Amino acid sequence: MIIFIEISTIILYNKAEVKTMITEKIKTLKKQSKLTAHELSEKSGIPLPTIHKLLSGETKNPKYETLNAVVAALDYQLELAPQQNREQARYSEAEIRMMTLYRQLSTDGQALLYENLAQLLQYEKDRNLKKAAEPMRELPLYLLPASAGIGSYLDSDQYEFQSFFSGTTPAAAKYAVRVSGDSMEPAFYNGDIVFVEPTAHLNEGDVGIIVINSEGYIKQYRDQQFISFNPKYPPILPNEYDTVRIAGRVLSKYN
């Protein structure tokens, strides 16, 4: 059988309080089992003086190993189950998967996992590898259609804001564009997001967002032409009747 000790969050209970809850549960189970302290000591492998101190409350912060051994001797298994409080404590999908897998492990497997995680945490602490939460930056994100007018998108409020990590977002970027099509492969693939700096001019070799007759493209400016990196697409050379506007310079791709 399993003892479920429900805890809300670390804000509500510290470690000592959780252990006190477990100790109180052990006292109840001992009475129900009618085992003497001596018998409980022999069955759990915990020294009798330690058992006395635990049951009397003299030990304020017992080891989890001691608590687990005593609970096992009472024919129970200890499990701490997170309890959803009024604010509905949130767990990521990865955390939920980890908890699910952890509960499927044997006692030895759980102990081994705990030991390895503790070692990994210490490794990161020793090398200062644990990163602080990286600040985010919101930018307007537009869709670059293959043959529709990006001009109407960039000149209107038909966009959505998306958060990007500040460390990967160029300071000069004012908006982002999601690439459509394969004309700029292998540098830019369908679905990639690029950061754009608004500008009316491109230098030789720059990759930019170009609007020709209200149709949008991501191309490289070279030899007074707009070049695709994919060789199956010919260069675009606007004629004197075309309306050409430079919407911005592509600074980088979002990774």
- Residues 78 and 57: their CA atoms lie apart, in Å, by 19
How long a stretch of residues is the chain? 255
Q: Alpha carbon of 37 to those of 45, 57, 166: distances in Å?
A: 12, 14, 60
pLDDT at 188 over 50: yes
DSSP state of 3: E
- Residues 110 and 113: their CA atoms lie apart, in Å, by 5
Task: Find the mean pLDDT for residues 167-189.
Answer: 87
- Residues 186 and 172: their CA atoms lie apart, in Å, by 24
- Residues 51 and 57: their CA atoms lie apart, in Å, by 10
Confidence band, pLDDT 50/70/90 cuts, at residue 8: very low
pLDDT at 80 over 90: no
pLDDT at 250 over 90: yes
pLDDT digits (tens, 9 = 90+) for 110-155: 888 888 888 888 887 777 655 555 688 888 887 665 433 454 455 5
Average pLDDT, the chain: 77
- Global pTM reads 0.47
- Determine what percent of the chain is predicted with pLDDT higher than 70: 77
Which segments of 66-185 are extended strands (E)?
77-82, 136-143, 160-165, 175-178
Burial of 212 (0-12, 13-18, 19+ CB in 10 A): middle
pLDDT at 241 over 70: yes
pLDDT the model gives residue 57: 81
Cβ(176)–Cβ(140) below 8 Å: yes
pLDDT at 79 over 70: no
Q: Number of helices and strands (H, E) in the chain?
A: 7, 10
Cβ(235)–Cβ(203) below 8 Å: no
Cβ(208)–Cβ(202) below 8 Å: yes
By mean pLDDT, which of 4-8, 24-28, 167-171 is the weakest?
Answer: 4-8
- Residues 195 and 255: their CA atoms lie apart, in Å, by 11
Task: Find the mean pLDDT for residues 46-68.
Answer: 84
pLDDT the model gives residue 92: 60
By mean pLDDT, which of 40-49, 89-98, 167-176, 195-204 is the weakest?
Answer: 89-98
